């Protein structure tokens, strides 16, 4: 019976890191299911889900630990198969002049309303007109059944004024979460 595992990886960025991970997984008869990886600063970081035959788990974990000799830090967890959040999906976009506290304020408002963050991508880049650092965020969120998109949008618009960002919240094309 295959066992699902979640791996987190961090290493100095260099060519061949993904290939190295993929080879270790293949060497243990594993299957790469899904992942999210990115270069952040000079580091390469990622999270991925794999499944492997139960008989290969111990040697797989030993092989991953050995990657530390190559400067690749890997943390492994067995997938707990926690129930997925249920509700309506929303797509949140946010842009504003970068300053501390934006993520804290927005994520606090989401948490207070029982909204789960399914995906979050953030970036600071230079504004094309002013050259000032602009913070952008894009998130897929899951609203609890008792909360409407309009109610959440109203709350987030209040927060947007406080942290001086523009935001939009729309219902996702795949509106119903699993």
Give the Cα separation of 165 and 156 in Å (integer): 10
3-class SS at 97? strand
Q: Is the pLDDT of residue 80 over 60?
A: yes
**Which of 78, 79, 62 shows the shortest CA–CA distance to 27?**
62
Residues 97 and 132: beta-carbon distance below 8 Å: yes
Residue ranges and CATH numbers for the domains of the chain are 2-78 (3.30.70.260), 88-176 (3.30.70.260)
Band the pLDDT of 162: cuts 50, 70, 90.
Answer: confident
Reported pTM: 0.82
Neighbours of 34 (CB within 10 A): 8
Q: Is the pLDDT of residue 92 over 60?
A: yes
- Least confident residue range of 40-54, 78-92, 117-131: 78-92
How does pLDDT run across 136-148, given as a tens digit for each residue? 999 999 999 999 9
Q: Is the pLDDT of residue 55 over 60?
A: yes
Which one has a higher pLDDT value, 126 or 137? 137
Band the pLDDT of 82: cuts 50, 70, 90.
Answer: low
**Which of 110, 86, 113, 116 shows the shortest CA–CA distance to 176?**
86
Band the pLDDT of 178: cuts 50, 70, 90.
Answer: low
Q: Is the pLDDT of residue 123 over 80?
A: yes
Which one has a higher pLDDT value, 86 or 45? 45
């Amino acid at each position: 019976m295959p066992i699902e595992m979640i791996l987190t990886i961090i290493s100095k960025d260099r060519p061949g890191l993904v290939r190295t991970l993929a080879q270790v997984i293949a060497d243990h008869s594993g299957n790469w299911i899904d992942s999210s990886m990115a270069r952040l600063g000079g580091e390469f970081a990622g999270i991925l889900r794999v499944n492997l035959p139960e008989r290969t788990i111990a040697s797989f974990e030993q092989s991953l630990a050995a990657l530390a000799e190559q400067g690749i830090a890997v943390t492994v967890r067995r997938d707990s198969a926690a129930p997925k959040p249920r509700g309506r999906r929303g797509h949140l976009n946010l842009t504003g002049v970068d300053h501390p506290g934006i993520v804290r304020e927005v994520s606090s408002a989401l948490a207070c309303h029982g909204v789960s963050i399914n995906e979050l991508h953030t970036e600071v880049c230079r504004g094309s007109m002013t050259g000032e650092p602009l913070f952008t965020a894009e998130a897929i969120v899951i609203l609890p059944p008792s909360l409407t998109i309009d109610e959440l949008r109203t709350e987030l618009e209040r927060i947007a004024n406080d942290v001086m960002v523009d935001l939009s919240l729309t219902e996702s094309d795949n509106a119903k979460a699993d």
